[in-house]
């Protein structure tokens, strides 16, 4: 490569590497060596051209003292990498980040600092058609924490705005839980055989879906009747240790599981990765239909040369759908109802803050009311 270029390409194996040596637009001398990650020479050249442009931008911001912009995808990716993956339900956060990114791109927003009051209001109004106020507020919180991180820690250009003033009013949180064991048993009876032990374990421990599916035999001490596992906790780097006693009913369930591999819960000799479809099948079935509305959940299947539309309907009207996380709420509510002890409930559920456990305090209020009624009939 001629010396007139600000870079020189050379090969290591099949991959092109580049040596950069040039004076930036601000007058700074730049010299560095790095892999282009490309096996095609033209692609390696394109990489070098873009890399030099990026270096010049960085040098410009460095010389002028301006904060460098950050793209939406990079900001969300970095936020997930540094913070969100350590939250209790990282998959849900990742899903929201993707939806949020798509919405912003549809508004032609590519950089974080382009998110202003107009964009926030537009997003709110668009999402009101399909989401609850609480759900919209979760998206706004993700924007807020990402913007604050970018400004305070990453030192990137942002448009500073108070997200709190844009949040919508939410009704008091209504914790859903199964009313009694008979109702829970109806759900278990309709579940597929390999799924029943997961439901029992969820009720007996209050563990989240992710912890249940990642449960390994090494986490279970049958001699001392204890489950010990590492759970994610945003207040502690790397997570925290959670220990849950194994009651006899749970021990019977766990000991009945075949030891196929290191994971406790398997299907067809492989660890279970997702339960969404299996859980939904307890409550719903798909029936063929000719007419349906935009509100219906449908599934298209090819039967021979024809496409048949199936609509999702409840199997039993007396058994309405409830999400899997309700089992954790149920466990917490039942424990608190029997013990009247918030601290014990907090420790079993693994809540870092007692305020989280206080969501279930309505149970204590009910017990107090029953006590007053029993005294002052």
Question: Same domain for 115 and 92?
Answer: yes
Return d(Cα 21, Cα 32) in angstroms, integer. 7
Number of C-beta neighbours around residue 42 at 10 A: 9
What is the per-residue pLDDT for 173? 64
Q: How far is CA 44 from CA 7, 10, 31, 38, in A?
A: 11, 10, 18, 5
Give the mean pLDDT of the chain: 88
The pLDDT of residue 1 is above 60: no
Mean pLDDT in residue range 157-172: 82
Strands (E), 27-82: 29-38
Q: Can you tell me which residue has the tokens 């020479």?
A: 41
Question: Same domain for 25 and 83?
Answer: no
The pLDDT of residue 115 is above 80: yes
Q: Is residue 329 part of a domain?
A: no
Question: Same domain for 28 and 84?
Answer: no
pTM flag (> 0.85): no
Q: Is residue 193 part of a domain?
A: no
337 CB-near residues (< 8 Å, 6+ apart): 363, 366, 367
Question: Same domain for 60 and 135?
Answer: no
Question: Same domain for 162 and 110?
Answer: yes
The pLDDT of residue 239 is above 80: no
Q: Is residue 323 part of a domain?
A: no
* Helix and strand element counts for the chain (H, E): 14, 11
Strands (E), the chain: 7-12, 15-23, 29-38, 220-221, 226-231, 240-245, 266-267, 270-271, 284-288, 298-303, 306-314
| Helix 90-106, helix 72-82: angle, nearest 10 | 170
What is the per-residue pLDDT for 182? 95
Domains contained in the chain, number: 2
What is the per-residue pLDDT for 283? 94
What is the per-residue pLDDT for 107? 94
The pLDDT of residue 236 is above 90: no
Question: Same domain for 60 and 77?
Answer: no
The pLDDT of residue 250 is above 50: yes
Phi and psi at residue 244, in whole multiples of 5°?
A: -130, 125
Domain containing 158 equals 72-166
**Cβ-based burial of 173 (10 A; exposed 0-12, middle 13-18, buried ≥19):** exposed
Whether 51 and 20 have beta carbons less than 8 Å apart is answered as yes
Q: Is residue 52 part of a domain?
A: yes
Mean pLDDT in residue range 28-45: 92
Q: Is residue 209 part of a domain?
A: no
Return d(Cα 103, Cα 107) in angstroms, integer. 7
Whether 31 and 13 have beta carbons less than 8 Å apart is answered as no
pLDDT tens-digit series, residues 121-139: 999 999 988 888 888 999 9
pLDDT tens-digit series, residues 64-97: 778 888 999 999 999 998 888 877 678 888 999 9
The pLDDT of residue 301 is above 90: no
What is the per-residue pLDDT for 238? 66
Q: Is residue 131 part of a domain?
A: yes
Question: Same domain for 60 and 104?
Answer: no
In this predicted model, which residue has the larger pLDDT, 170 or 291? 291
Q: Of 166, 201, 224, which residue sits at a domain end?
A: 166
């Amino acid at each position: 490569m001629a010396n007139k270029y600000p870079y020189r390409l050379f090969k290591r194996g099949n991959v092109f590497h580049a040596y950069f040596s040039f004076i930036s637009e601000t007058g700074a001398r730049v010299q560095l060596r790095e892999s282009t990650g490309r096996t095609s020479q033209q692609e390696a050249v394109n990489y070098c051209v873009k890399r030099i442009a990026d270096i010049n931008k960085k040098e410009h911001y460095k010389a002028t003292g301006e904060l460098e912009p950050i793209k939406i995808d990079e900001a969300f990716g970095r936020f997930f990498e540094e913070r969100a993956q350590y939250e209790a339900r990282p998959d849900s956060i990742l899903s929201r980040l993707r939806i949020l990114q798509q919405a912003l791109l549809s508004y032609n927003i590519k950089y974080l600092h382009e998110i202003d009051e107009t964009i926030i209001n537009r997003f709110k109004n668009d999402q009101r058609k399909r989401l609850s106020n609480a759900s919209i507020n979760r998206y706004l919180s993700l924007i807020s924490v990402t913007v604050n991180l970018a400004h305070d820690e990453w030192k990137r250009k942002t448009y500073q705005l108070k997200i709190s003033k844009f949040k919508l009013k939410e009704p008091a949180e209504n914790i859903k839980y199964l009313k009694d064991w008979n109702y829970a048993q109806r759900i278990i009876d309709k579940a597929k055989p390999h799924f029943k032990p997961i439901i029992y374990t969820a009720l007996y421990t209050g563990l989240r879906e992710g912890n249940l599916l990642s449960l390994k035999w090494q986490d279970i001490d049958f001699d001392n009747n204890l489950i010990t596992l590492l759970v994610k906790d945003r207040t502690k780097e790397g997570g925290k240790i959670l220990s849950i006693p194994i009651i006899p009913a749970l021990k019977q369930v766990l000991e009945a599981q075949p030891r196929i591999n290191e994971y406790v819960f398997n299907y067809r000799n492989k660890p279970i990765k997702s339960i969404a479809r299996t859980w939904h099948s307890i409550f719903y079935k798909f029936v063929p239909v000719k007419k349906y509305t935009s509100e219906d959940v449908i599934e298209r299947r090819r039967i021979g040369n024809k496409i048949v539309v199936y609509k999702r309907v409840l199997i039993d009207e007396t058994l309405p759908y409830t999400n899997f996380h309700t089992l954790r709420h149920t466990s917490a509510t039942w424990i608190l109802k029997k013990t009247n002890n918030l601290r014990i409930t907090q420790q079993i559920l693994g809540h870092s803050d007692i305020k989280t456990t206080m969501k279930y305090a309505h149970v204590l209020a009910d017990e107090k009311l029953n006590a007053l009624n029993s005294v002052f009939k």
